[in-house]
Chains A and B, each alone.
Chain A
Amino acid sequence: MLFSDIILETSIALLANKVRSGLTMLGIVIGIGSVIAMIAVGQGAQKSVEDRIQSIGSNLLMIRPGFARSPGQTVSQGQGSSTSLTLEDAQAIESDVSFLSAVAPSVSGNYQVVSGGSNTRTSVTGTLPSYVTVRNIELESGSFFTDAHDTRRSKVAVIGPDVRDELFPDETDVAGKKIRINGIDFTVLGLTVSKGSSGMDSADDVVYVPLSTAAQYLTGSDALSMISVTVSDQSIMDQASADITELLLARHDIVDEDSADFRIMNQSDIVETASSVTETFTLLLGAVAGISLLVGGIGIMNMMLTTVTERTREIGLRKAIGAKRRDISRQFLSESVALTFLGGVVGVVLGWGAAALLTRFGGVATSVSGISVVLAFGVSAVIGIIFGYYPARRAARLNPIEALRYE
Chain B
Amino acid sequence: MIECRNISKIYCNGDNETAALSGATFSVRDGEFVAIMGPSGSGKSTLMNILGLLDLPTGGTYLLDGKDVSHLSEDELANVRIQKIGFVFQSFNLLPRTSVLRNVTLPLVYGGVPRSDRQAKAEDALRAVEFPEERWEHLSNQLSGGQMQRVAIARALVNNPSLVFADEPTGNLDTKTGVLVMKAFRRLNREKGHTIILITHEAEIARYADRIITIRDGEIVSDMPNREVRND
Give the interface of A toward B (CB within 8 A).
Answer: 1-2, 4-5, 12, 16, 313-314, 316-327, 400-401, 404
Contact = CB atoms under 8 A, between A and B. Distances in A.
A317 B81 CA distance: 12
Interface string B71-108: 00011001101100011010001011110000000110
A5 B109 contact: yes
A321 B94 CA distance: 11
Interface residues of B, number: 27
B109 A313 contact: no
Given A1-B112, A16-B96, A324-B79, 13 more contacts: A2-B109, A4-B115, A314-B93, A320-B87, A321-B86, A321-B106, A321-B110, A321-B155, A322-B111, A324-B74, A324-B110, A327-B110, A404-B54
B95 A319 contact: no
A322 B107 contact: yes
B93 A401 contact: no
Contacts of A320: 52, 54, 81, 87, 93
A325 B75 contact: yes
A404 B90 CA distance: 11
Main secondary structure of the interface of A (DSSP, over half): helix
Contacts of B111: 322
Nearest to A6: B109
B191 to A, nearest CB: 23
B110 A1 contact: yes
**Lowest 6 A-B CB distances belong to which pairs?**
A322-B82, A322-B110, A317-B93, A321-B107, A324-B75, A323-B110
A13 to B, nearest CB: 9
Contacts of A400: 54-55
A316 B96 CA distance: 14
Contacts of A319: 54, 78
A323 B106 CA distance: 9
B93 A404 contact: yes
Contacts of A321: 81-82, 86-87, 106-107, 110, 155
Nearest to A326: B75
A1 B106 CA distance: 10
Contacts of B55: 400-401
Nearest to A8: B102
Given A2-B115, A323-B78, A323-B110, A12 B97 contact: yes
Interface in B5-33: none
B49 interface: yes
A401 B49 contact: yes
Given A321-B107, A324-B110, A400-B54, A12 B78 contact: no
29 contacts: A2-B109, A12-B98, A16-B96, A16-B97, A314-B93, A317-B89, A318-B106, A318-B110, A319-B54, A320-B54, A320-B93, A321-B86, A321-B106, A321-B107, A322-B79, A322-B81, A322-B107, A322-B110, A322-B159, A324-B74, A324-B78, A324-B79, A324-B110, A325-B74, A326-B75, A327-B110, A401-B49, A401-B54, A401-B55
A322 B93 CA distance: 14
Given A318-B106, A321-B107, A321-B155, A313 B93 contact: yes
B157 to A, nearest CB: 12
Contacts of B52: 320
A15 to B, nearest CB: 8
Nearest to A13: B97
